[in-house]
């Protein structure tokens, strides 16, 4: 039982390049989330998906797109990376929509030069 799996673990991009961060969970959870973590800023929500087929913006969605491919997978795409998107990205999932606990993936450390 792997929980929440994120790939890649590390990535270096040049400004303007694009990439997709992959996330999959094997807990049959309905809700999935993408957060970014910057020093001293805590965890800020980028996008979330309450259920398969739905996605919504979080606190800091600009510069990102997401796809809820199926119940298991939720990807985050940077179309044209900027240095301000240098961060650690965490995918998370939860069982439903009642404020349940979140299960986090191990994170992706992204540097944009």
Partner 1 sequence: GQQVMQIPQYQHVQEGEDFTTYCNSSTTLSNIQWYKQRPGGHPVFLIQLVKSGEVKKQKRLTFQFGEAKKNSSLHITATQTTDVGTYFCAGPSGGSYIPTFGRGTSLIVHP
* Smallest gap from residue 97 Cβ to partner 1 (A): 4
Reduced to 3 states (helix: H, G, I; strand: E, B; else coil), residue 67 is: strand
Single residue of 21, 23, 33, 68 touching partner 1 by CB under 8 A: 33
Under rule CB under 8 A, residue 104 binds partner 1: yes
Q: What are the CA-CA distances from residue 98 to residues 29, 31, 54, 59, 94 (Å)?
A: 12, 10, 17, 19, 9
Q: What is the DSSP letter of 33?
A: E
* Smallest gap from residue 14 Cβ to partner 1 (A): 25
12-20, 62-70, 77-85, 104-112 -> range binding partner 1 (CB under 8 A): 104-112
Q: What are the CA-CA distances from residue 18 to residues 21, 101, 105, 110 (Å)?
A: 10, 32, 22, 12
Note the residues at the interface with partner 1 (CB under 8 A): 31, 33, 35, 40-45, 48, 58-59, 90, 96-99, 101-107
């Amino acid at each position: 039982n792997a929980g929440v799996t994120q790939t890649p673990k590390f990535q270096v991009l040049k400004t303007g390049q694009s990439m997709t961060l992959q996330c999959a969970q094997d807990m049959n959870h309905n809700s999935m989330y993408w957060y970014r973590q910057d020093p001293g800023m805590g965890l800020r929500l980028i996008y979330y998906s309450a259920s398969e087929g739905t996605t919504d913006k979080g606190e800091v969605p600009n510069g990102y797109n997401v796809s809820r491919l199926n119940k298991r997978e939720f990807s985050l795409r940077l179309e044209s990376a900027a240095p301000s998107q240098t961060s650690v990205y965490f995918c998370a999932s939860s069982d439903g929509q009642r404020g349940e606990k979140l299960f986090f993936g191990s994170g992706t450390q992204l540097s944009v030069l």
